[in-house]
Structure 1
């Protein structure tokens, strides 16, 4: 019923046309974008070792006086946002414009890692906030790689 994604398979809780959101602790309508989001949340928890307790879905961002939402935000120990994830439905092409959608949140949240996924393709960028540069990474960092990237020796 739901399309296969370019992610490991997870045992997600489905109830009719609803899917369990482990972060918000409730069932949500399982739209194509929500299917990607819930699978990607599990990928981050189970394969990249991000703590579920530091993740928020549909995190509100105040951008130039407008209330926007990023799909997933991952916080650090100091309660700053380290990672922003934008999820799209599998049939949505990932373009420069869709990556720009999350890049603009960096001006408010100061998150150095930006991830864009439609479940089939995944792009990850590292924003050097001091140099104001964006560098694409070959893979999505796990927690250990993230700490090394943010705190090089």
Structure 2
């Protein structure tokens, strides 16, 4: 069942028009994840993650087969989980994205979180999004500094 993307959340997300498969059971909404091929509980953060997945696959040409979602990683002996990782065609980390709920403002702390994860992952690009604002960076491996991008590149 296709439902308007604003049905679940009153907040209008900053993405092009996309259709999501939503369903309601026992008063709880779930959204179909096309990568994991199953319905997931629809939380505000999941709503942003699903929009980002469709945006990257439908508008930026990122192949579905190169995505990894919500996988564990270890940082300073702590178990953490990243939201979205996209590999390049050689199987190396390419783009790491941290998603937040729309009501969570993107901050220095959010950026530090994805940078911390990327110390273990070492992706060329990183990004943060709360569905309203999206910020992406490219890692300059020589200076070990991040440069902010104006737009996320299409996958090649």
Task: Find the aligned partners of 1:142 and 1:62 in 2 and give their Cα distance.
Answer: 29
Correspondent of 2:17 among 3, 9, 30: 9
Structure number with the higher helix fraction is: 1
1:125 corresponds to which residue?
Answer: 137
Is residue 81–residue 110 contact of structure 1 (8 Å, CA) maintained in 2?
Answer: yes
Deviation at 1:97, TM superposition (A): 0.7
Aligned to 1:44, the other structure's residue is in SS state: helix
Deviation at 1:140, TM superposition (A): 1.2
Structure 1: tracts of 5 or more residues without a match: 145-153
1:139 corresponds to which residue?
Answer: 151
1:47 corresponds to which residue?
Answer: 59
Structure 2: tracts of 5 or more residues without a match: 1-6
After TM superposition, the structure 1 = structure 2 runs for residues 6-85 of structure 1, keeping only pairs within 5 Å, are: 6-16=14-24, 17-85=29-97
Correspondent of 1:108 among 120, 123, 128: 120
Is residue 59–residue 71 contact of structure 1 (8 Å, CA) maintained in 2?
Answer: yes
TM-score by length of 1: 0.90
TM-score by length of 2: 0.88
